[in-house]
Amino acid sequence: MKSEVAQHSSAPRTSRKYGHTVPEIRTEVVQRSHRIISRIVKSYFRSEIRGAERLPSSQTIIVSHHDGGVLPINGLCLGVHWYDHFGFDRPLYVLTHDLLHSLWDPFSKLLADSGLLRADRKAMDAVLERGQSVLIFPGAARESFRPFWHRANIDLGGRKGFIAQAIRWNLPITPVVSAGSHETVVVLSGGHEFAKAIGIPKIVRSADIWPILAGLPWGIWALPFLPQIPLPAKITTEVLPPIHLSEALGRDLSPHHASDPEIVQAGFDLVVGRMRKRLGELYDERKYPVIG
């Protein structure tokens, strides 16, 4: 489904209520990036999407697992398919780790122009206040560096904030799962005990890992920030039916339920359960790792 390209102003807007500046996505930057990334994900990774028609035409919170080490390849695949489906006049904001925005100022500006924001609740609130959809990866680094043989499992790091946000904003959650992106690099160990011993969680927010990796170009290495050449794994992404928590949990929910731990836990278990089931089925379809 394509539509006319809307040219957006590059001037950022600051939410009066949440005090967070949300940059406008620059359409020409997204178009240029899409042309390049689309060729890569569709040829090198043979990326395909199932269920794109399930993406709501109205505002939603998209939640996915985090795969593939430092490179958010499943996120890139989903972003390409999002703009293939909706065209460029419906932007998608993505919450990403702080470190990405601290590497190099021109790169940080490119991220902002493309709709990638620091993962922060105030940032998410400011985006949702504007009526935009947002893609989040609650599992963050811990899930992205889970061992290779756990690639069909999902735990989202136990982070349930997105459930509270969906309740608070009365929005559907659209789960997305992706098979193959965690085969672009082989994670031998997450190195959680070593990370805690040397104090990584105190240095890097939401990270308690020091993984041992195998892949290109380094062979076996234990420095997660080193650039990697991803293996050409076949990546299959599936959009699951949107979940309206009031309907799914069988009760009328209002914003104050966002602080009810039992309701939030029930919503979390429901969403993760559906994601785990479908991801397992996608991996069961694969004959061989990487090849697909």
Which is it for strands 236-239 and 48-50: parallel, antiparallel or unpaired?
parallel
Cα separation, 110 vs 93, in Å, equals 13
Closest CA to 130 of 28, 24, 30: 24
The pLDDT assigned to 197 comes to 62
The pLDDT assigned to 261 comes to 96
- Looking at the DSSP bridge assignments, the partners of residue 96 are 118
pLDDT by 10-residue block (mean), the chain, 292 residues: 38 57 88 95 97 96 90 91 95 80 67 83 92 92 85 89 97 97 89 61 57 89 82 97 97 95 97 97 94 92
Closest CA to 54 of 1, 114, 6, 120: 1
The pLDDT assigned to 109 comes to 82
The pLDDT assigned to 195 comes to 55
The model's pTM: 0.87
The pLDDT assigned to 223 comes to 76
Q: Please say whether the beta carbons of 130 and 22 come within 8 A.
A: yes
Half-sphere exposure of 19 (CA within 13 A, CB side): 0
The pLDDT assigned to 133 comes to 96
Alpha carbon dihedral 102, 105, 16, 260, in 10-degree steps, equals -20
Contacts of 28 (CB under 8 A, 6+ apart): 7
